[in-house]
């Protein structure tokens, strides 16, 4: 509502001085002192859970690698058993190298010296 009796004047606040409110500072400090430990606790909790998840993935990966290595070891044991079988060695010597079994009359025995 406008009235002819009200005169508006601009306000000049250039001479005002801002003073520190000590009570407000204390309240802010108390809030920060209450909040900072809680925030660090929450960050620590989140970090620990992230580490737990990371370690879980690492354990799973290592278990998978272990299973693959155990499987490879079994395959190598089977292959070594096949390659070292006397029947296979005899066949390979006869066919691949042309070796024959020696006759008893061609064998020379040595006596051991005392």
- Read off the pLDDT of residues 53-99 as tens digits, 9 standing for 90 and up: 999 999 999 999 999 999 999 999 999 999 888 888 888 888 888 88
- Within-domain flag for 40: yes
Residue 112 CA to its chain's centroid (Å): 63
Residue 1 has pLDDT above 60, yes or no: no
- Within-domain flag for 5: no
User: Stretch 12-24: mean pLDDT, rounded?
Assistant: 78
Asked whether the beta carbons of 78 and 72 are under 8 A apart, the reply is: no
- Within-domain flag for 10: no
Domain count within the chain: 1
C-alpha distances in Å from residue 33, one per residue of 2, 22, 25, 36: 51, 16, 12, 6
**Residue 37 main-chain phi, psi, to 5 deg:** -65, -35
- pTM of model > 0.75: no
Residue 78: domain span: 22-95
Residue 48 has pLDDT above 80, yes or no: yes
- Within-domain flag for 102: no
- Within-domain flag for 63: yes
pLDDT of residue 2: 63
Q: How confident is the model at residue 109 (pLDDT cuts 50, 70, 90)?
A: confident
- Within-domain flag for 4: no
Residue 4 has pLDDT above 70, yes or no: no
- Within-domain flag for 41: yes
Dig out the tokens for 60 from the structure.
Answer: 């799973």
- Within-domain flag for 14: no
pLDDT of residue 73: 97
pLDDT of residue 14: 73
Alpha-carbon span 36 to 29, nearest angstrom: 10
């Amino acid at each position: 509502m406008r009235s002819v009796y009200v005169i508006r004047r601009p306000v000049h606040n250039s001479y005002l001085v801002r003073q520190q409110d000590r009570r407000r500072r204390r309240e802010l400090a108390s809030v920060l002192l209450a909040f900072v430990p809680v925030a660090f606790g929450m960050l620590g909790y989140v970090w620990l859970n992230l580490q737990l998840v990371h370690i879980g993935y690492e354990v799973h990966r290592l278990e998978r690698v272990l299973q693959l290595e155990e499987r490879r070891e079994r395959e190598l044991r089977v292959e070594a058993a096949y390659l070292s079988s006397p029947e296979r060695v005899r066949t390979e010597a006869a066919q691949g190298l042309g070796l024959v079994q020696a006759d008893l009359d061609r064998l020379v025995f040595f006596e051991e010296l005392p």
